[in-house]
Structure 1
Amino acid sequence: MQTAPLSPEDPAVIGGFELQGRIGQGGMGQVYLGESLGGEPAAVKVIKPSVVDSEARLRFAQEVEILKTIWGPRIAAFLDADAEADDPWLATEYVEGPDLRGHVHMHGTLPSLLTASLGATLAEALAGVHRQGLVHRDLKPANILLGPNGPKIIDFGLAVFAESNASLTAPNTVVGTPAYMSPEQANGVKPLTGAVDVYALGAVLLFAATGHAPYQAATPMATFNLVGDPAKAPDLEGAPEELVPLLTVMLAHEAQDRPSLTDVVRHCRAVVESQGMTIAQARRRLTTHTVQAPAAHAHPPHPAPPPAAARTEPAPEPEAATVPAPSPERTPTLLDPSPAGPDGQSDSPGVQTPATPAPASRPRDTPSSGPLRHSAQARRTAQQLRQVYAASAPF
């Protein structure tokens, strides 16, 4: 996990968490690596002052209330929050490890055995979320963290109560990441059901095994249109033969044609067992593989169409894009025109990825009382970050 150093304008403490560095940035806020009074690491998400208006504060408060209801061993746990602070913030469990997107781009795709293990683990976790009356709505490789204890799902900021009439978005908009958005989500169908997460999980597993999403286009808007078109079949090129039947039904255009998450777990388990391994053994192998990231075992990702300008690293995708719902009178357009990478992914506020320092906006905070806490690990991390920042500072 790469962590960028704090800038002089960053606060030192937020809500009792001493900040150690930056681990992500998105349109709505900044994510820091923090440490509690007792030395517990946390991902601390702070809403940017520039977007703290009444609507953003309300959405953030709703996100906090939703996060309080979500639990499970494969879910990054909610720790604390303050939606009424001058700069609203929330803290969740810090998962030490790369996200799935970064792992695939750095080390290559996963073999079918490990992809099936990942599928069984995530499907079981999502089934637990659905039993709590929620759907994720924005599952994507960047929201799957590969930690030392196995994969965990993060960023439930778009989650909504499946049977609720309340919404976090305007009535005529859809929100999500186009490359991993289900067709009904892209077409503005409401209410959404758990089938959107089944589709997104299928897209995530396809990416894990091939390095590409089901639909690829030059722009997010073009991808959005492909996803919503029933005449366009998903691209399964490069997918392992034993996974193609499952991926085909998970990526079905019609929600009712997709399997249940329980059926996904069973199919993934069958793939694992057909290769002479138990599901528990495969899970341990997945964790070992992603923690150690052995380059010798990596599979080169399936090549995606090159972007207009040559890049040496994948470009960020637009984070959960807000799109006007389709209507006969006009073509929907994206409100977030951020550039997209080959897999259509971005670094959203909950994603733990390297960030660049933000421009100065306010003075650095100081702790209200008592000395700052410094565990041995925190001191080492802080010292490394200070050295990096000192080497790049112009003064």
Structure 2
Amino acid sequence: MHIAPLSPHDPVELGGYELLGRIGHGGMGQVYLGESPGGEPAAVKVIKPSVVDSETRQRFAQEVEILKTIWGARIAALLDADAEADPPWLATEYIEGLDLSRHVARHGPLPSLLVASLGATLAEALAIVHKQDLVHRDLKPANVLLGPNGPKIIDFGLAVFAESSVSLTAPNTVVGTPSCMPPEQARGDRPLTPAVDVYALGAVVLFAASGHLPYQAANIHVLFHQVTDPDTAPDLSGAPDELVPLLTAMLAHEAEDRPALSEVVQQCRAVIEAQGFKVAQARRRLTTHTAAPSHTLDSLLPTVVAPPLPTTPVDLPDAETATTAVLPATAPEPVPPLVDPPAPPSVSPVVRPPADPASPEPVMAADGSQASRPTPSRPARGGSVQRRHSTQARITAQRLREVYAAHSAF
């Protein structure tokens, strides 16, 4: 995730969170990377002072209340908020990683195995949201963060309670992302049902698999016409054949024709298992493929220089030599590869007779041939070399303690 430096006009602290940089911004607000007094990183969202009025405060307060009710492993958790502050702010869990839109732009579409894993993970997360009588209403690739522990859904600013006709938007006003919204949402229908999130998830899965959304147009009016026209089918080009039936169902024009989220999970599982993997294996491969730690916080915080180690050798009584211990430099943390490692070659099964400790262990292959397996070398009985090293270490340690005690001021 790209972190821009703070501008001279940005606050340096909000609600006890020290602000370290800019994560992103929109028409209504700015999102900062913050850190709590105890060192907990957070995404701190602030409403711009220029747009703060009674309606935006009410909408912001609704977002805070919705985030308080949402729970789940795949939802960015609310940490703290103050909708009455000036300016209003909220802090959510910080997830270090690219969003799906930027990841596909940099690395291209995901393989079908990983797309199916992503679809199953997000469908399960949305099902938990729906159990809490909420609909997200603005699911899109930019609202799916690919963190080091797997994908998570963010930005519930447009979420509403399911089966509710109450809305803060004016009549005939459409709020959301047109390229990912279903026809009923684009028409401004009320009330909206969980089927809107099924459609949006289909758009996200299609984007992950092909690099494009169901409808694309340079003109917003043309785009709305494509979305609401029942005779204009979504563009599924580039999607793997095994995912086309599921995508077709999820992007159905009529809400009642779309599958339930539980069915989406099962169809994604079928795609995964057809390729010889378990769902948990596919999930781990998805995380390995998409998450690469960038240590953003370490680069933003001031560097603390440790005091140098003493270099003067200590004179040990009756010791032949005195050495100075130097700690090895810490090696950089390896970054997980973006591709799966090759599978190990298959090995013929072997039948092993009872081992005879006096002779090399024979191995019988499947074709009946035998070969002697070399017996690994073993240390001499009694471990005399290791005992000698251990004894010398204890003597040296004891002498160090005696020298320290003789020169200590207390």
Specify the SS of the correspondent of 2:157: coil
Matched with 2:17 is: 17
Matched with 2:379 is: none
> Residues 108 and 211 of structure 2 are in contact (CA less than 8 Å); yes or no, is this contact kept in structure 1?
yes
Map residues 40-51 of structure 1 onto 2, 5 A cutoff: 40-51=40-51
Amino acid at match of 1:84: E
Structure 2 segments unaligned to the other structure (5+ residues): 304-410
What is the alpha-carbon distance in structure 2 between the residues aligned to residue 9 and residue 52 of structure 1? 17
Matched with 2:219 is: 219
Amino acid at match of 1:381: L
Is 1:160 aligned with 2:160?
A: yes
| TM-score after normalising by structure 1 | 0.75
| TM-score after normalising by structure 2 | 0.72
Task: Compare CA radii of gyration and give the structure with the larger one.
Answer: 2
Residue 20 of structure 1: CA displacement? Answer: 0.6
How far does the alpha carbon of each residue in 1:341-383 deviate from its partner, in whole angstroms, 9 at most, with x for none? xxxxxxxxxxxxxxxxxxxxxxxxxxxxxxxxxxx98564145
CA shift in 2, pair 1:150/1:377, >3 Å: closer
Matched with 1:194 is: 194
What is the alpha-carbon distance in structure 2 between the residues aligned to residue 289 and residue 188 of structure 1? 38
What is the alpha-carbon distance in structure 1 between the residues aligned to residue 107 and residue 58 of structure 2? 40
Specify the SS of the correspondent of 1:152: strand
Specify the SS of the correspondent of 2:291: helix
> Residues 44 and 90 of structure 1 are in contact (CA less than 8 Å); yes or no, is this contact kept in structure 2?
yes
Residue 163 of structure 1: CA displacement? Answer: 2.6
Residue 169 of structure 1: CA displacement? Answer: 1.1
Residue 174 of structure 1: CA displacement? Answer: 1.7
> Residues 21 and 382 of structure 1 are in contact (CA less than 8 Å); yes or no, is this contact kept in structure 2?
no
CA shift in 2, pair 1:380/1:78, >3 Å: same
What is the alpha-carbon distance in structure 1 between the residues aligned to residue 243 and residue 121 of structure 2? 16
What is the alpha-carbon distance in structure 1 between the residues aligned to residue 233 and residue 112 of structure 2? 22
> Residues 99 and 146 of structure 2 are in contact (CA less than 8 Å); yes or no, is this contact kept in structure 1?
yes
What is the alpha-carbon distance in structure 1 between the residues aligned to residue 236 and residue 286 of structure 2? 22
What is the alpha-carbon distance in structure 1 between the residues aligned to residue 106 and residue 202 of structure 2? 21
Specify the SS of the correspondent of 1:173: coil
Greater RCO (Cα-Cα under 8 Å, separation 6 or more): 1
Specify the SS of the correspondent of 1:30: strand
Is 1:39 aligned with 2:33?
A: no
Map residues 122-201 of structure 1 onto 2, 5 A cutoff: 122-201=122-201
Structure 1 segments unaligned to the other structure (5+ residues): 294-375, 385-395
> Structure 1 residue runs of 4+, over 6 Å off?
none
Matched with 1:102 is: 102
What is the alpha-carbon distance in structure 2 between the residues aligned to residue 226 and residue 198 of structure 1? 19
Report which stretch shifted further, 184-193 or 121-130: 184-193
Map residues 217-366 of structure 1 onto 2, 5 A cutoff: 217-292=217-292
How far does the alpha carbon of each residue in 1:79-104 deviate from its partner, in whole angstroms, 9 at most, with x for none? 11111111000010000000000000
Matched with 2:406 is: none
> Residues 109 and 211 of structure 1 are in contact (CA less than 8 Å); yes or no, is this contact kept in structure 2?
yes
> Residues 43 and 91 of structure 1 are in contact (CA less than 8 Å); yes or no, is this contact kept in structure 2?
yes
> Residues 158 and 168 of structure 1 are in contact (CA less than 8 Å); yes or no, is this contact kept in structure 2?
no
Amino acid at match of 2:164: S
Matched with 2:388 is: none
> Residues 182 and 200 of structure 2 are in contact (CA less than 8 Å); yes or no, is this contact kept in structure 1?
yes
What is the alpha-carbon distance in structure 2 between the residues aligned to residue 249 and residue 379 of structure 1? 45
Specify the SS of the correspondent of 2:163: coil
Matched with 1:80 is: 80
How far does the alpha carbon of each residue in 1:245-289 deviate from its partner, in whole angstroms, 9 at most, with x for none? 000000000000000000000000000000000000000000000
What is the alpha-carbon distance in structure 2 between the residues aligned to residue 378 and residue 144 of structure 1? 21
Identity of aligned residues (%): 75
Residue 187 of structure 1: CA displacement? Answer: 1.2
Alpha-carbon RMSD: 1.5
What is the alpha-carbon distance in structure 2 between the residues aligned to residue 215 and residue 172 of structure 1? 22
Specify the SS of the correspondent of 1:169: coil
What is the alpha-carbon distance in structure 2 between the residues aligned to residue 377 and residue 124 of structure 1? 29
What is the alpha-carbon distance in structure 2 between the residues aligned to residue 97 and residue 378 of structure 1? 12
Specify the SS of the correspondent of 2:174: strand
Amino acid at match of 2:166: A
> Residues 186 and 228 of structure 1 are in contact (CA less than 8 Å); yes or no, is this contact kept in structure 2?
yes
How far does the alpha carbon of each residue in 1:200-233 deviate from its partner, in whole angstroms, 9 at most, with x for none? 0000000000000001111233212210111100
